[in-house]
Structure 1
Amino acid sequence: MELLQALLLGLVQGITEWLPVSSSAHLVITRQLLGIAASAAFDVALHAGTLLAVIAVFWKEFLEMLQAVIRLDFKSHAGKTALLIVLATIPAAVVGVLFNDFFESLFSNLAAVGTALLFTAILLYAASKTSGQKEVGSKQAAVIGIAQAAAIAPGISRSGATIAAGMLAGVDKNKAARFSFLLSVPITLGAALFEIRKASLLELDPLATMAGIAVAAAVGYASIKLLLKLVKESKLQWFAYYCWLVGVACVAWSFA
């Protein structure tokens, strides 16, 4: 992979992994537009970059959860959050393992990707009309976990689906967003480890790969901060309009 392509894909990954517009959809679109071949190994590298971003933003929360787990303190807020993250991770882990081949087959189907983006738009718009005040509990975590499982499909935004599901379940918008980001780490790490089985690390250009990781991490950090700000300002519907536009374009393009 050329350096310029790596930088571009890192930029796309960094922006779209955390903003609720589906990184998988945008990587599919970018690769098809520019004729860039898919690379499982490079995708794993990009996910490493975006993982660094979310850990950099929420390192205090992750440290508190780790300390609570080590102490077996599941009555504290950090300990309860760790348990809820485990609960919410289970649906996506099961679906990802059982139906991985099916979902991977959709990556080359622009009509399916576009339809999934339209579904993301509906979720985001509906969520933008809510005003919940609840904390994330076991019921809400289960709903959010099911949404994360659905987001394995290319075109359904993981952050969008999980934040929207939380808000539709009555969770305060800011708490839903923070839980969504914390929830992203185990499933993203698990997916990367699952994908690396079939990835050939020898195919990677070291310079291009490090550049892609760095861009994905830096831009991902900024994207997380931006989304937290926009959620706080109740502007989630902006992303719904964008997903409608791109979704319709993808469906139309698939029939062109």
Structure 2
Amino acid sequence: MDMFQLIVLALVQGFTEFLPISSSAHLILPSALLGWPDQGLAFDVSLHVGSLLAVIWYFRKEVVELLQSWFASLTGKHTPQSRLAWLIILATIPAVIAGLLLNDLVSTVLRGPWVIAATTIIFGLLLWYADRNPPQQQDEMSLSWKQALFVGIAQAIAIVPGTSRSGITITAGLMLGLTRTAAARFSFLMSIPTILGAGTLMTVKLVESKVDVIWHELFLGAVISFVAAYVCIYFFMKIIQRMGMMPFVIYRLALGIVLLYVFVF
């Protein structure tokens, strides 16, 4: 990659990782339209590190409280925060299982442009349906274990490229009656163990592959991804309750149509 490609890909990853618009749908466009080479596993790892650090830093207060409460719960001291921590762990399990069982299928058969285009449109429409379906008055603390598992199963579906992990988990939260802010907050907190697990697996593969890496490129990619992801999360959480999901729905439909036009027709 040259420096321009590095910056563009890092910005795309950072801005799209946490918006309900599918990062995979965006990352496929530059290489296909501009003939860019695959950025490689090492660069993917660095971008995920940047995104992970961004969401941890934004929710640093909540993360500390959840960790402290979770460890305290192991000694029998239970609080609303420890309950939420256990719900996040429960909601992460389906994605772990799906990743272990379906990774090969997803990385080959389901990575085609037509799949990404179709899922971008279909789950965009589902997001629209969930957002217009009241009432949405609960916060994440009110979730039952069954509801948390439902959101976790939705997150597992996001292993299919184009679905959008944040998009489908926010959709599931809205369907359960969470406010937009609460649905987004639970989705982002769920992303921490999910991205951490995915990044760990990618790192293991990278070490096993024994490929040479250009460390300054990885560092720069991580920094750009961190900044873009943090800015994205900050403004998304500020405006989501007032703005709603319709702008993202419209964007997803337009993106899906572009993908179909470019790769299928």
The alignment partner of 2:15 has SS state of: helix
- TM-superposed deviation, 1:42: 1.0
Partner of 1:223: 232
- Do the aligned residues in 2 keep the contact of 1:2 with 1:208 (CA within 8 Å)? no
Q: 2:157 aligns with which of 140, 147, 150?
A: 150
Partner of 1:71: 72
Q: 2:132 aligns with which of 129, 133, 136?
A: 129
Partner of 1:20: 20
The 5 Å alignment of 1:1-256 reads: 1-34=1-34, 35-72=36-73, 75-106=78-109, 108-130=111-133, 131-134=135-138, 135-199=142-206, 200=209, 202-256=211-265
Q: In the aligned structure 2, how far is the partner of 1:203 from the partner of 1:128? A: 46
The alignment partner of 1:171 has SS state of: coil
- C-alpha change, 1:48 and 1:74, in structure 2 (3 Å) is farther
Gaps of 5+ in 2: none
When the two structures are superposed, what TM-score results if normalisation uses the length of structure 2?
0.91
- Do the aligned residues in 1 keep the contact of 2:114 with 2:263 (CA within 8 Å)? yes
Q: In the aligned structure 2, how far is the partner of 1:50 from the partner of 1:38? A: 17
Question: How many residues in Structure 1 have an aligned counterpart in Structure 2?
Answer: 256
Deviations 1:50-90 (A, max 9, x none): 00110111000110011112212663121011100011001
- TM-superposed deviation, 1:196: 2.2
- TM-superposed deviation, 1:223: 0.5
- Do the aligned residues in 2 keep the contact of 1:87 with 1:142 (CA within 8 Å)? yes
Identity of aligned residues (%): 38
Q: In the aligned structure 1, how far is the partner of 2:180 from the partner of 2:111? A: 34
- TM-superposed deviation, 1:226: 1.9
Q: In the aligned structure 1, how far is the partner of 2:253 from the partner of 2:242? A: 21
* C-alpha RMSD of the superposition: 1.6
Gaps of 5+ in 1: none
When the two structures are superposed, what TM-score results if normalisation uses the length of structure 1?
0.94
The alignment partner of 1:203 has SS state of: coil
Q: In the aligned structure 2, how far is the partner of 1:156 from the partner of 1:61? A: 27
Q: In the aligned structure 2, how far is the partner of 1:17 from the partner of 1:100? A: 19
- Do the aligned residues in 2 keep the contact of 1:114 with 1:250 (CA within 8 Å)? yes
Deviations 1:143-192 (A, max 9, x none): 11011001111101111110111111112221111010000010111111
- Do the aligned residues in 2 keep the contact of 1:7 with 1:208 (CA within 8 Å)? no
- TM-superposed deviation, 1:252: 2.1
- C-alpha change, 1:106 and 1:19, in structure 2 (3 Å) is farther
